[in-house]
Structures are given as structure tokens and as C-alpha cells.
Amino acid sequence: MYSENKADSCSTCPVGFFTTGGTATTRTSCYECPAGSACSTGSTSATECSPGTYQSSGGQSTCDDCAAGSFKDSSGAGTCSACTAGNYCPA
């Protein structure tokens, strides 16, 4: 929730955006969720994509699974890496 220009009522940030800091009445803006993370409606922070998932675009509500033959072993990925020869990377 945030209050635009000290409005009488608070608004909820839309899907793909978040607001941060202060309280609902002192927050004044929504920020686009960055690549490598996802934001549901009303988010107060961006949630990093978990290992095995990625999000290459900003402003998204979900992270996508890495495709078969690729992987990501850390959080906050904007891309997945190709599985190297001799390794198994299931979907």
C-alpha cells in the first residue's frame, strides 16, 4: 500500500511492482520489480527468483523454470546457464 501525494486513501501497487520503506501513508511510489525477481499485487519488496528459476524481464509477477538442459544454482537469476558436458540437468 502507498499514498500518492498524501491522498486521502492508500493504493495497492499492481502486479510486477512493489513499494518499500516507511508506512502505507508515507510511501509515495511503486517501483518496477527488477529482472531476476517477481512481485505479486501489493508487494513491499521484490522476491528473488529461487534456484532453478529465472525472470529475464522486469515488471513480472512470476519466475519461470529453467528449461531442460539448463540450470541456475543461485537466487535472483535473469537467465539460466547451459548444462555442461558430463552433467545432467533435468527440467
Give the distance from CA 76 to its chain's centroid.
Answer: 8
Output the average pLDDT for the chain: 85
DSSP letter at 88? Answer: -
Grid coordinates given for 79: 537467465
Share of the chain above pLDDT 70, in %: 86
DSSP letter at 6? Answer: S
Residue bearing cell 539460466:
80
Which residues have a Cβ under 8 Å from the Cβ of 22 and sit 6 or more positions away? none
When pLDDT is cut at 50, 70 and 90, the band that residue 24 belongs to is low
Residue 43 DSSP SS3: strand
Share of the chain above pLDDT 90, in %: 47
pTM: 0.77
Instruction: Tell whether the model's pLDDT for residue 87 goes beyond 90.
Output: no
